[in-house]
Structure 1
Amino acid sequence: MVILGKLKFLSRSFAALSSAPLRICIVGSAPAGFYTAEKLLKAHEGVEVDILDRLPTPFGLVRSGVAPDHPETKVVINQFSRVAQNERCSFYGNISLGSSISLVELREMYNAVVLSYGAESDRSIGIHGEDLAGIHAAREIVWWYNGHQDCRNLTPDLKSSDTAVILGQGNVALDVARVLLRPTTELARTDIACHALAALEGSSIRRVFLVGRRGPVQAAWTAKELREILGIKDLDIHIQQADLVTTPADEIEMKNNRIRKRVYELLSKAANPGTSPLCNQRELHFVFFHRPEKFLELDDKSGHLAGVRLEKTILKGDDGQMKQVAVGTGVYEDISCGQVLWNSDSTEEH
């Protein structure tokens, strides 16, 4: 399949060289690639654009990175599809730069080559025990429930424990937490991958901890995303009142940033629900001012995760300059869990 695709691609490319139009190659079919193609096609009537991708399908993170219950975000695919249907634009899948074709070859065939692809792997966390079974990058889980071919065989353990810990407090972390906690009867109405839905239907996870090294004022999610997860039916929200106490620096940050203020207000309201939790209700715990220190192994030395050790942090930095950084205090606590999911920025400043 890859060889056939490359031969068709090469034959078309070499044949087109003789007519000498302005020919541009874009490597990567995610939003950046399609936006670039769209601008080029509009700006130059004689330009021809070829978009290459190592996957057989286009659209990158719009297809594999957006939560399945956010169809409105994927509407942009319609715009990209119109670009791909332009007679001066072609898409070629199953073409891997470096193995299917080299950059040198591309530069010989085109007037310009645009490299429009991002990182496809995650950096090491740099924390003891990160190789234990049960620890995954959040990106892998997102690709798993979106049906990305690289993670179709991923088998996250959703049965051995009722608790999952997510390191990071951005929108991706909220997406993963929402998919883990949202009723599968609702997820079934989305475009979630069938294998992921089946696994979630048998999931034992009832508690999710969202861990951030800084406070609620510095959390990186948007108010819309936060409001959505707080609105999940029969979800018990846990927030320590002490974490909501603000400093003068926090007040300045909120004064200068309307989104931060709104996020803080939503969290403050959620911390005082005014109702008693129901029995067997699912729980979402917001854990602020903590950073991961060590991953714990089961006593049987099976190589499987037993929990995560967190270090309490405090913020230090210039008031109002948004440079408050988390500093460890030497005070630790453990959370028992069967899964840890982490974002690439969750151990920053560790």
Structure 2
Amino acid sequence: MSRVKVAVIGSGPSGFYAVSALLRQCEDPLIDIIERLPTPFGLIRAGVAPDHQTTKNVVRAYSKTASEAGVSYFGNVSVGKDVSLAELRDLYDAVILAVGAPADRKLEIPGIDKAGVYGSAEFVGWYNGHPDYVALDPDLDTERVVVIGNGNVAIDVARVLVKGPEEMAASDLPGPVADVIHRSPIKDVVVVGRRGPGDAKFTNVELREMRELDHAVSIVRHEHLPDALPEDLEGRDRRVREKNLQTMEEFAEPDEAMVEEAEKRVHFEFYASPLEILGKERVEGVRFERTEVAEGGSVRGTGETFVIPCGLVVTAVGYRTRSFEGIEFDAKSGSILNTDGVVNGNLYTVGWARRGPSGVIGSSKRDGDDVAGKIAEAHALSGPTGKVGHDGLKQLLQDRKVAYVDFDDWQKLDAAEVERAKSSEAPREKFLSVEEMLAAIGTKSG
């Protein structure tokens, strides 16, 4: 039987779960992982908070997958620039879009484009050392920050901004970023959500971390906590919300002396919808409207407004995937238009690019299994296609003198970053630009 040849565009969790599923479900497949950056692992490297090293340990499994026979890595290859999607579809039996949702969903309110307002994708990318955002250079010379959003990303941003140097010593927070954050005069971070505490999308593990900070205390208004959850809420959803409310109860009655003595504070403000970013050229505050949750779950404004003065705003209100020429995009979900993972013909999609930005890292496993099964079935029906796959891509990149990076190159870069770590506790010191990365490992154009 001929070997199916598959290109996977994107090397984050959804890409690696798709590769793993292909290895299980197809007979001796040939799989090429194509990544825009020299470095693999997507949001594990550039999205997971730098102080969550246990979560990042999943890259060990991904590295094992990348080293399997028949799997190759092409880093520093941009689809749409170095090679077109149409060319890849001609070269391979199947192409999988596993590009995640790397772009911010913009909050459409007046003043959103003022200096000092950032989307969480770019702000998190900056403090994680993503090459696209290394030059972001946010001005943290402010005592108060407003974070708009009620999910784990919002909590991550707040936590990273209030942790001290010793709390971040075992993280991979880049040195230049750590210098900026730890020198900043930030004293208060306000995390704001449109709904109430019972509707917040925090996982309880993340929420509990907020009671273990060395220099900051977390505060919730007691009047915002509900007396009870809706009776029709059942199962896992109810248990998660109950745990969150139990944790927030601890934040609702902080010791007054502790609050006064704390160097920093994280305020959880609920039932507030942003109306306008205030200030001249630079943000000086955010105007909010008080909200209430109506019967049926819809949110409506009460007409009461208030202002939170601040010098920095981070919006964490969702993400959207990248677009490709000739591929339809679903603006509502922020995903690539598809039917159960099938875009059209031999083009498939998985993960956030398929479903929109929802779920945890492991949620993409099912997508990989589903698409791998469809590819295996399609290949069994079609028989040999004569597609050249790997050899064709390699020749094309050589002809175009594209400085691609293979997995051995990445492992050299990985070792160099580990060697650069500034303390025995830190796992690595990241290279912050593609140029630095390529210089550290040498480039190849064929």
TM-score when normalising by structure 1: 0.86
Secondary structure of the residue aligned to 2:153 is: helix
Which shifted more, 74-83 or 336-345? 336-345
Contact 1:178 1:229 in 2 (8 A): yes
Structure-2 residue corresponding to 1:29: 11
Counterpart residue number, 2:166 = 185
Q: CA deviation at 1:343?
A: 1.2
- Paired position in structure 1 for 2:270: 288
TM alignment of 1:146-295, pairs within 5 A: 146-159=128-141, 161-246=142-227, 249=230, 252-253=232-233, 257-276=238-257, 277-279=259-261, 281-295=263-277
Match among 307, 311, 330 for residue 285 of structure 2: 307
Q: Identify the residue that residue 321 of structure 1 maps to in structure 2.
A: none
Q: Give me the TM-score of the superposition, normalised by structure 2.
A: 0.68
Separation in 2 of the partners of 1:345 and 1:85? 33
Return the alpha-carbon distance in structure 1 between the equivalents of residues 178 and 229 of structure 2. Answer: 45
Residues 229-279 of structure 1: per-residue CA shift (max 9 Å, x gap)? 121124233221211133663x54377610000100110122123452234
Please state whether the residue corresponding to 2:5 is helix, strand or coil.
strand
Q: Which whole-Å deviations, capped at 9, do the CAs of 1:38-73 have from their partners, x for residues lacking one?
A: 111122232110000111111100110111111110
Tell me the distance in 1 between the aligned counterparts of 2:234 and 2:34. 43
- The one-letter code sitting in structure 2 at the alignment partner of 1:253 is L
- Cα deviation, 1:89-130, whole Å, max 9, x if unaligned, reads 001011111111111111111111111112332233110000
Structure 1 residue 189: deviation in Å? 2.5
Structure 1 counterpart of 2:310: 337
Q: 1:163-188 CA deviation, whole Å, 9 max, x = no partner?
A: 00000010011011000011122213
* SS of residue in 1 equivalent to 2:81: coil
Provide the residue aligned with 1:107 in structure 2.
Answer: 89
Q: Secondary structure at the match of 2:64?
A: helix
Structure 1 residue 317 corresponds to structure 2 residue 299: no
Residue in 1 aligned with 2:400? Answer: none
* Preserved contact between residue 222 and residue 253 of structure 2 (Cα < 8 Å): no
SS of residue matched to 1:139: helix
**Corresponding residue of 1:85:** 67
Choose between structure 1 and 2 for higher RCO, CA contacts under 8 A separated by at least 6 residues: 2
Summarize the Cα distance change of 1:289–1:152 in structure 2 as closer, same or farther, 3 Å threshold. same
| Structure 2 residue identity aligned to 1:137 | G
* Mapped partners of 2:69, 2:138: distance in 1: 43
Give the Å deviation of 1:345: 3.8
What is the RMSD computed on CA atoms of the aligned residues?
1.9
Residues in 1 aligned to 2:45 and 2:59: alpha-carbon distance in whole angstroms: 8
Range 236-245 or range 306-315, more displaced: 236-245
SS in 1 for 2:58: helix
Q: Helix, strand or coil: the match of 1:187?
A: coil
Letter in 2 for 1:155: D
Is contact 1:217-1:254 (8 Å) kept?
Answer: no
Distance 2:250 2:106 in 1: 36
Deviations 1:199-227 (A, max 9, x none): 11211111000000000110100111000
The alignment status of 1:138 with 2:120, answered yes or no, reads yes
Q: Tell me which moved more, 113-122 or 307-316.
A: 113-122
Distance in 2 separating the partners of 1:342 and 1:242: 25
- Answer with 76-85 or 268-277: which moved more: 268-277
CA contact (8 A) 1:293 1:310 kept: yes
Distance in 1 of aligned mates of 2:242 and 2:124: 28
Q: Give the Cα–Cα distance (whole angstroms) in 1 for the partners of residues 68 and 29 of structure 2.
A: 11
What is the rounded CA distance, in whole Å, between the counterparts of 2:2 and 2:187 in structure 1? Answer: 61
2:405: which partner in 1?
Answer: none
Residue identity in the other structure for 2:286: V
Identity of aligned residues (%): 38
Q: 3-state DSSP class of the match of 1:132?
A: coil
Worse overlay, 288-297 or 239-248: 239-248
- What amino acid is the match of 1:102? S
Corresponding residue SS for 1:335: strand
Partner of 1:62: 44
Deviation at 1:280, TM superposition (A): 5.6
| Cα contact 1:166–1:341 (8 A) shared by 2 | yes
The SS at the match of 2:104 is: coil
Report the secondary structure of 1:340's partner residue: strand
Pair 65,295 (structure 1): closer, same or farther in 2 beyond 3 Å = same
Letter in 2 for 1:327: R
